[in-house]
Amino acid sequence: MRVTEQQVFGFLVNNYQRSRSRALRLQEHLATGKQVLQPSDDPGRFHRIVGEKTTLEKVDQRLRNVSTATVRLDLADTALQGTTSTLSRIRQLAVQFASDTNGASERAVGGQEVRALLQHLLQLGNAEYDENQPVFGGTSRHGFAAGLGLSTPVTLTNAATDTLTVKVDGVTSGTIDLTGSTETLTGAELAARVQSRINADSTLAAAGKSVSVTYENTRLVIISQSEGSNSMVEVFGGSARTLLGFNGGSAGNGSATFAATVATHAASTNSGGAVISQGQVLSPSTTSYDNYAVRFTGPTTFDVLNISAPVAVTAQSANVGRVGASDAGIVDPQRITLDTYEIQFTSASQYSVRNTTTGTTLSSGNAYVSGSAIEFDGLRVVLSNGPPGVPSVGDRFTVAVAPTTVLANQAYTSGAAINVDGIRLQISDGTGTPAAGDLFHVVRQSQYTGDSASPEIEVADGQVIATTVSGGQIFSGPSVNVFDAVQGLLSALRGNFKAGIVESLGELDRALSQVSAAQGEVGALTNRLESTASALDQAKELATNTLSSFEDIDLAKTISDLTLQEYAIQAAGATLGRIFDNTLLKYLR
């Protein structure tokens, strides 16, 4: 077989080009430090590299998750430390002002500090770790309408007490029919019925609005499914409104984890037909946190009274026994009538209680024990024997709340907003107009607007860790509502009510224990995240080393191979030169 010069030349050129190509590839490996740049370099190794990179990406994401969760838990711990410090200071004030060395003026001054500390507690409870990302709000915050307490089961009667009208996120429903017959429902059944019928309303459904309804602490709570400051609910009409506890109650939006609210309430003794809306606090930062009452002086006028006030107990001048008032205060603001009462001793060991405004005897033949509480219509009075002495027949004590008038002789317009102390509510005609003497209470409360869920992060396939503790568990229960406990102390201080101050100590102790337990949970979560981060760091190191073993070049070997290729290129070039010298082309050139 004849081998021509062209074949030899072509063979040498191909070898030269292959050597150049291998040299270029080795230079790329040397420049990048990687031995596999594309699948064709090593298909099996390339597949392993892709797998290890995927593992590294997952580990890096989980480390970022842990970092974010750690920041959130650190903020939670800081807020809880501040809560503990604030509650401890409030408790110190309670101990201080429970002493008999303090009077009404000193306790009122103490109330100013407690009010400021209460506002600080709300700020701590509403802490955020990013814009609109609450530390204690679970995964979302929702507007709500909470009714008054119910006695269950509740009987709904078709065409009598079976309808509601609600407003959800500004959208007004049609008339919502709860039953087509007569049904008696438990609290849970009632909540389910109200929820299903509201969500079936065509107007709300067309606007994309829906609610969830719960029955908790003997009351119905209707919660908007939307979130944020525009999330809100109001129950303002329907024949079942009063039956279901919505002739009053409280409302708030989802702008804060803990909403400072007021619960409105129509007195059971009202003779008119007016109804009251759920109360809402518009400006938590400027409110005084006092309780109020709206009292109608006629069908077209009303006064607004501040009832966070002392209860005056006055001994009649004709008394001959050695008995005096040692304490008095309001124990249930929603039962206050603002009437005047009289405690009259019918013997040295018995007394009766009479409402002198209405002329009604509330109780008689009551056994008197010096220093024991006498309670009626939301008031508590403590009478004690003086040394030496006992009551005498006919001894009498006048009892009355001493409210402060905030708004006087206001013109009533059905449905018009009433604004006082950062609070808004409406009173409107229901079955009739208000009557003279009708009373509506406005009592301070707080409401958790978050949910019970806890944000979770993935730390391994199928494994998640909670990143905080529910604010409802920390501040609203299970033992005590922290904000309501402080509010109770504040009311007792402003009412110069020693027993109320003493009772608040137990509430504050439970609040401190509750917050302390939450701090322990946060600490446990933090420790778990630290351990998880350490394990993830180790996994990252292992994955990085494994990836390096598949992907990184052997530097010495790569340099040696490149040197050999360069020698091969030089040799091929020299050989080609020699062949060219022996060809006719050289002479024809």
Taking every pair of C-alpha atoms in the chain, what is the biggest distance, in angstroms? Answer: 151
Nearest CA-CA partner of 344 in 326, 365, 329, 330? 365
pLDDT 10s digits, 302-357: 999 999 999 999 999 999 999 999 999 999 999 999 999 999 999 999 999 999 99
Nearest residue to 435 (alpha-carbon basis) of 303, 340, 295: 295
560-570 tens-digit pLDDT:
555 665 656 66
Write the CA distances from 387 to 180, 235, 323, 498, integer angstroms.
68, 56, 9, 21
Give the pLDDT of residue 554: 47
Q: Which amino acid is at 554?
A: D
Rg (CA), the chain: 39
Asked if residue 381 lies in contact with residue 394, where contact means CB atoms within 8 angstroms, the answer is: no
Q: How many residues does the chain have?
A: 589
| Mean pLDDT taken over the chain | 87
Q: What 3-state class would DSSP assign to 539?
A: helix
Q: Which letter does DSSP use for residue 18 in this model?
A: H
First to last CA, the chain: 30
In this structure, are residues 116 and 223 in contact, taking their beta carbons and an 8 Å threshold? no
**Are 294 and 302 a contacting pair, CB within 8 Å?**
yes
77-123 pLDDT, tens digit per residue, is 999 999 999 999 999 999 999 998 999 999 999 999 999 999 999 99
Task: Please say if the pLDDT value at position 125 is more than 80.
Answer: yes
**What are 259-315's pLDDT values in tens digits?**
889 999 999 999 999 999 999 998 887 888 999 999 999 999 999 999 999 999 999
Contact at 8 Å (CB) between 121 and 511? no
528 in helix, strand or coil? helix
Classify residue 578 by burial, with Cβ atoms within 10 Å: 0-12, 13-18, 19+: exposed
Domain-by-domain residue ranges, the chain? 311-401
> pLDDT digit string (tens) for 407-426?
999 999 999 999 999 999 99
Residue indicated by tokens 């009437």? 339
What are the tens digits of pLDDT across the range 354-387?
Answer: 999 999 999 999 999 999 999 999 999 999 998 8
pLDDT for residue 56? 81
Q: In the numeric block, which tokens belong to residue 8? A: 């030899």
What sign results for the dihedral spanned by CA atoms 211, 171, 201, 191?
Answer: positive
* Spatial distance between the Cα atoms of 354 and 360, rounded to a whole number of angstroms: 6
| Higher local confidence (pLDDT), 556 or 57 | 57
Residue 334: what pLDDT? Answer: 92
Q: Are 457 and 69 in contact (CB under 8 A)?
A: yes
The per-residue DSSP string of 333-350 comes to: GGG-----EEEEESSSSE
* Distance between CA atoms of residues 171 and 232, nearest Å: 10
> CA dihedral defined by 527, 531, 537, 538, rounded to 10 degrees?
170
Q: Which residues contact 553 (CB under 8 A, 6 or more apart)?
A: 29, 30, 33, 34, 35
pLDDT tens-digit map of 552-588: 554 555 465 556 656 566 666 666 566 655 555 555 5
d(C-alpha 249, C-alpha 280), whole Å: 9
Three-state secondary structure string covering 49-107: HHHHHHHHHHHHHHHHHHHHHHHHHHHHHHHHHHHHHHHHHHHHHHHHHHCCCCCHHHH
